[in-house]
Amino acid sequence: MPADTNQPFTAFQSITDFSNLPTVSFVVPNEYNDMHDTVSKNGLYAVGQTGLDKFGAPVNGDSTIQNGDTWLSNNLEAYRQWATTHNSLLVVVWDENDFDFTDSNNIPMVIDGDPRLVQPGVNNSDVNHFDLLKTLEGYYGLAPTGLAATADGLPSNGGGKLIKQPVAEDALGEGNHTADIALLRNYMASSFAASSDGHGGTLISEAAQGGSQPPLITQPHA
């Protein structure tokens, strides 16, 4: 990559105004900070079968998941906070799992940022790097490249906002919804009563006549 594109991390650390970053930036930690257990704190591999690098620092045990978490917090927390109010995202994604080839190389993807772009929650949809690429390219009106062209993109609400896993109570999403109702006998307006459904909506029930009545059962028409 060109030198003006492939910058050392010190270039990122020197930025005090994150709006000066390129539109899309990749931060790639070294093997000591990316949760690999392959190098020592010196960034060196073990000498033979000793489990130590040439300076005697331990390998396979020093580069822990906790070490990666600490590095992420120390170096990208400021950007994460900034992104939540500046129409930006922080996407943390791995390249591979722990070499357990009995599964499909499942890896986590953690996305945080401006609530206009991402909805808090968990989505367990199967996605991959090409879905991520397609979504990022779509933000800027770019045609998807390579295998992103056949990817679905990350789950969204259709307007660019990444969403959590839908559940039964919010499967319809936000906004107004209408349905045709089949009435099982003759009614007048006075036959109905409106009340809150407890979730910000309106519950239409048959008005009580000498006792409590259950909500009407409605049959939507195709």
- How many structural domains are present in the chain? 1
What pLDDT is recorded for position 1? 81
Does residue 190 belong to any structural domain of this protein? yes
* Domain range for 199: 176-222
Q: Which residues contact 61 (CB under 8 A, 6 or more apart)?
A: 37, 51
Cα separation, 108 vs 124, whole angstroms: 10
In a domain, 216, yes or no: yes
Q: 90-99, pLDDT tens digit by residue?
A: 999 988 876 6
Q: Is residue 145 part of a domain?
A: no
Residue position matching structure tokens 């772009």: 117
Q: How far apart are CA 51 and CA 45, in angstroms?
A: 8
Residue in the structure block whose two tokens are 């409106």: 194
Q: Indicate whether 193 belongs to any domain.
A: yes
Give pLDDT, residue 101: 63
Q: How many residues does the chain have?
A: 222
**Could you tell me the two tokens for 111?**
């996305």
Q: Tens place of pLDDT for every residue, the chain, 222 residues?
A: 888 889 999 999 898 899 999 999 999 998 888 887 778 878 788 898 888 889 998 886 655 677 888 999 999 999 999 999 999 999 999 888 766 666 677 888 999 999 999 999 999 889 999 999 999 999 999 999 999 999 999 999 888 899 888 765 444 555 565 555 555 445 555 666 677 766 666 666 665 544 444 333 333 333
- Note whether residue 192 is domain-resident: yes
Does residue 85 lie within any of the structural domains? no
Reported pTM: 0.67
Please check whether residue 18 lies inside any domain of the structure.
no
Taking alpha carbons only, the member of 123, 213, 214, 207 closest to residue 166 is 123
CA nearest neighbour of 10 among 34, 27, 31, 22: 27
Q: For position 218, what pLDDT does the model report?
A: 33
Contact of 115 with 140, CB cutoff 8 Å: no
Q: How far apart are CA 39 and CA 62, in angstroms?
A: 8
Going from the C-alpha of 86 to that of each of 26, 79, 80, 153, 191, the distances in angstroms are 18, 10, 10, 23, 51
Question: Residue 222 domain-assigned?
Answer: yes
C-beta of residue 42 within 8 angstroms of C-beta of residue 57: yes
Token pair of 80 as six digits: 């994460």
